[in-house]
Structure 1
């Protein structure tokens, strides 16, 4: 199957490359939001030191993975 060529001769990214890029961008955005919300929620229940870092990290990973997955599914559709 021939590759689609853009207006200046460069090839377009594949579908998998677009989905992968959307997942990475969604993951980065979700992790940033998770850092904000995780910090506030952990400080609200008075976590300190190691508990605080673990709680923020867990929230960042959860929200990053979730948001990245939804954005990747949307790009695939």
Structure 2
């Protein structure tokens, strides 16, 4: 006997657990990138970086903070499944 599919209030199906984890990662990555842009810019300017070196430093900080925050958000969404 097949299990019924859960249906939302307007006929749409609920996202799967993997979709929720993926969405949590993407949201966390976006927030982490924004925070990394702010903190990375300030810290790189404070130590005197300019030009190409500044862009590389800010980009590296954005990717690191985006990946870290995205991972934690994905774990949080996975726990909620």
Same fold? TM cut 0.5? yes
Deviation by residue 1:17-43 (Cα, 9 ceiling, x = unmatched): 010001000000000000000000000
RMSD value, Cα: 0.8
The size of the alignment, in residue pairs, is: 77
Partner of 2:31: helix, strand, or coil?
helix
State how far apart, in whole Å, the 2-side matches of 1:2 and 1:10 are: 13
TM-score, normalising length: structure 1: 0.96
Question: How does the TM-score come out when normalised to structure 2?
Answer: 0.91
Partner of 2:76: 74
Do residues 60 (structure 1) and 56 (structure 2) align? no
**1:51 corresponds to:** 53
Larger radius of gyration: 2
List, as ranges, runs of 4+ consecutive aligned residues in structure 1 with deviation greater than 3 Å. none
Partner of 2:40: 38
Report which stretch shifted further, 1-10 or 48-57: 1-10
Query: Please, which runs of 5 or more residues in structure 2 have no aligned partner?
Result: none
Which ranges in structure 1 are unaligned for 5 or more consecutive residues?
Answer: none
